[in-house]
């Protein structure tokens, strides 16, 4: 399941991020790649352990913690410290596998990657090419979102970034471990939560059936969540 979440960062925040990032040196993106992905990865990254990436990453994680749509879709347990990349003309990331386990040596955090996230920090009209292509059971999905929006997609998918032919594609990318490992279960709780929120709008939070459905929603999370 692909979920796009709008306005995780405001346009003003994106502009501030870009100002800060533009002043930083960029390094070869292969420093964080696995054995397979290193062979097809051609992009640039901010130093993953550098103070700028960590500071901006913390701001993203804070924004995510306040985003109810993100929480509902991902049910995050651990979010890996966000990384930042840039694709200038000629750069691309061929079809690859995301490592199943990722460790962060600064914090000691180790996660199972259930969901991959790309948070776009360039507007679509700032660059040509640079589409995120995600291949799953349902086919091939091409994603290019406005700056400040993100896409959540299964880390189990093969995916790629097509070559940028003009401009620059800047984004943050990271992984997370969900409390709900099973993607079908996670999909059902997300759908149910969305339906309940619609009913709350129409009937209020304390309509008896809404209350019952809310209880079932919490019980399903209780049933599936692993902490």
The residue ranges that bind Ni ion (CB under 5 A) are 98
**Residue of closest CB approach to Ni ion:** 98
CB of 105 to Ni ion, least distance (A): 20
CB of 8 to Ni ion, least distance (A): 19
CB of 95 to Ni ion, least distance (A): 9
Give the integer Cα–Cα distance in Å for 80 and 111: 7
Those residues with Cβ within 8 angstroms of residue 81's Cβ, 6 or more apart along the chain or in another chain: 48, 53, 54, 57, 61, 104, 106, 107, 109, 174
- The residue (of 97 and 199) whose beta carbon lies closer to Ni ion is 97
- The residue (of 13 and 98) whose beta carbon lies closer to Ni ion is 98
Hey, is 149 helix, strand or coil?
Answer: coil
Give the integer Cα–Cα distance in Å for 26 and 22: 9
CB of 173 to Ni ion, least distance (A): 7
Give the integer Cα–Cα distance in Å for 116 and 157: 9
- The single residue listed with the structure tokens 């189990």 is 156
Q: Which neighbouring-strand residues pair with 49? A: none
- The residue (of 72 and 157) whose beta carbon lies closer to Ni ion is 157
- The residue (of 98 and 193) whose beta carbon lies closer to Ni ion is 98
Q: Kindly state the tokens that stand for 99.
A: 């490592």
- The residue (of 32 and 52) whose beta carbon lies closer to Ni ion is 32
Rg (CA), the chain: 18
CB of 81 to Ni ion, least distance (A): 16
């Amino acid at each position: 399941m692909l979920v796009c979440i709008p306005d995780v960062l405001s346009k003003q925040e994106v502009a501030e991020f870009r100002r800060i990032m533009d002043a930083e040196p960029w390094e070869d993106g292969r420093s964080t790649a696995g054995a397979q992905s290193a062979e097809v990865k051609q992009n640039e990254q901010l130093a993953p352990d550098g103070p700028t990436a960590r500071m901006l990453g913390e701001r993203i994680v804070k924004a995510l913690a306040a985003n109810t749509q993100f929480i509902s879709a991902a049910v995050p347990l651990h979010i890996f410290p966000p990384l930042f990349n840039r694709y200038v003309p000629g750069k691309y990331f061929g079809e690859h596998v995301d490592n199943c386990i990722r460790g962060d040596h600064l914090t000691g955090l180790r996660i199972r990657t259930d969901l991959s996230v790309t948070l776009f920090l360039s507007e679509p009209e700032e660059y040509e090419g640079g589409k995120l292509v995600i291949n799953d059971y349902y086919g091939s999905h091409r994603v290019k979102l406005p700056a400040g929006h993100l896409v959540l997609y299964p880390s189990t998918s093969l995916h790629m970034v097509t070559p940028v032919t003009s401009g620059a594609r800047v984004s943050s990318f990271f992984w997370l471990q969900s409390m709900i490992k099973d993607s079908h279960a996670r999909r059902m709780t997300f759908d149910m939560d969305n339906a309940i929120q619609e009913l709350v709008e129409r009937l209020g939070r304390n309509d008896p059936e809404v209350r019952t459905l809310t209880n079932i929603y919490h019980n399903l999370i209780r049933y599936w969540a692993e902490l």
